[in-house]
A and B are shown apart, each in its own frame.
Chain A
Amino acid sequence: GENVEQHPSTLSVQEGDSAVIKCTYSDSASNYFPWYKQELGKRPQLIIDIRSNVGEKKDQRIAVTLNKTAKHFSLHITETQPEDSAVYFCAAPRRATGRRALTFGSGTRLQVQP
């Protein structure tokens, strides 16, 4: 937190291509960065997160990288599939809540074309 900027707002890729979504944050004390996926009409769900003591984390086709110096973190999805189509939100902790509540980015609508 406290400000989280996310780009791009929309992203369209061909099935099998990679997708990258980038976020920046303003609070240098932030130490936890989750990514949520929200499919149409469904609830946001955590897909991956990273803590400030590591620079990269992978889980199958998704990975997150963190650059603490530059205060930005990115979501990478490889070999995209149609079911990856959704809105993705990055987030960072809100200081006032003991860093439990989150400040979210504006979201990226990912469309994977078959």
Chain B
Amino acid sequence: EAGVTQFPSHSVIEKGQTVTLRCDPISGHDNLYWYRRVMGKEIKFLLHFVKESKQDESGMPNNRFLAERTGGTYSTLKVQPAELEDSGVYFCASSQDRGQGARAEAFFGQGTRLTVV
């Protein structure tokens, strides 16, 4: 079974440019999450999709970040325009939905390392 895949693995862009990150979750996983790790700090929550709906986007830093999950399959995270402080590793994760009170492991992708110069 394929794991969570993300592309690109690395991206270097200039301040003011636009970058789009993509995440393909494990097939059948309704829950999809975006996280970000800035140099040496915690893995910080950005947002959570259940199928195509945003369950919680309270972690999105500002309106320069836009996430979509059309059709409830893969997801994209667009940063426009990028700023220096957006640099970091962006992780996507997915999990099954086992219903009320049940817990399903979140599987992470390998991350996209974004460098804004």
Contact = CB atoms under 8 A, between A and B. Distances in A.
B31 A100 contact: yes
B42 A44 contact: no
B74 interface: no
Given A44-B43, A103-B45, A106-B41, A98 B108 contact: no
Contact of A102 (B4, B45, B109): B45
Interface in B28-47: 31, 33, 35, 40-45
A101 interface: yes
A32 B103 contact: yes
Contacts of B97: 100
Given A51-B103, A97-B48, A100-B48, A42 B110 contact: yes
Interface range on chain A (Cβ under 8 Å from partner): 20 to 34
Contacts of A49: 103, 105
Interface of B: 4, 31, 33, 35, 40-45, 48, 55-56, 58, 91, 95, 97, 103, 105-111
Contacts of A29: none
Interface string A26-49: 000000101010000011111001
Contacts of B110: 42-43
Nearest to B41: A106
B45 A100 contact: no
Given A100-B31, A102-B45, A44 B108 contact: yes
8 contacts: A43-B108, A43-B110, A43-B111, A44-B108, A97-B55, A100-B55, A104-B35, A107-B40
